[in-house]
Amino acid sequence: MSYKNLEIWNLSRTLVIDIHLMALALPRFEQFEEAQQIIRSMKSVKSNIVEGYGRRIYKQEFIRFLVFAIASRDETIDHLETLYETKSLSNEILYTDLHERLDVLGKKLHNFFVSVSENHVSKK
């Protein structure tokens, strides 16, 4: 099995793409501030899922990187909300879509974290 088979990775992959495209369409003054931050935080979600999966034989390492992914997802929501509240992102439909998908990803990340915490057996 590969990390590419994980639903949380696939959800984060599509969100990385869509948030990147959204950020590129932001006003020019946001390109070096919130746009870069939201792109980095969303890419961090995906990357931490991959890195944790790569260390999955060590339960605590796996969990540690899932916690990083959850935290980066929270950061991404904060950046998205800031962009919307400051009207740099004015497309309400896009905002709502991204926010709802981030919420779904958060729930799935949490469930995956709980599953790894409760059921994973390290193989050293």
* Helices 92-119/59-85 angle, 10° precision: 160
pTM value is 0.93
Task: Centre a 10 Å sphere on the Cβ of residue 99 and count the other Cβ atoms it contains.
Answer: 15
The secondary structure of 14-28 as a DSSP string is HHHHHHHHHHHTS-G
Write out pLDDT tens, residues 1-29: 899 999 999 999 999 999 999 999 999 99
Q: Using CB atoms within 10 A of its CB, is residue 120 exposed (0-12), middle (13-18) or buried (19+)? A: middle
* Helices 59-85/7-24 angle, 10° precision: 30
Question: Is CATH 1.20.1440.60 what the domain over 3-118 is classified as, yes or no?
Answer: yes
Q: Using CB atoms within 10 A of its CB, is residue 9 exposed (0-12), middle (13-18) or buried (19+)? A: middle
Retrieve residue 80's tokens.
Answer: 């998205």
Write out pLDDT tens, residues 100-119: 999 999 999 999 999 999 98
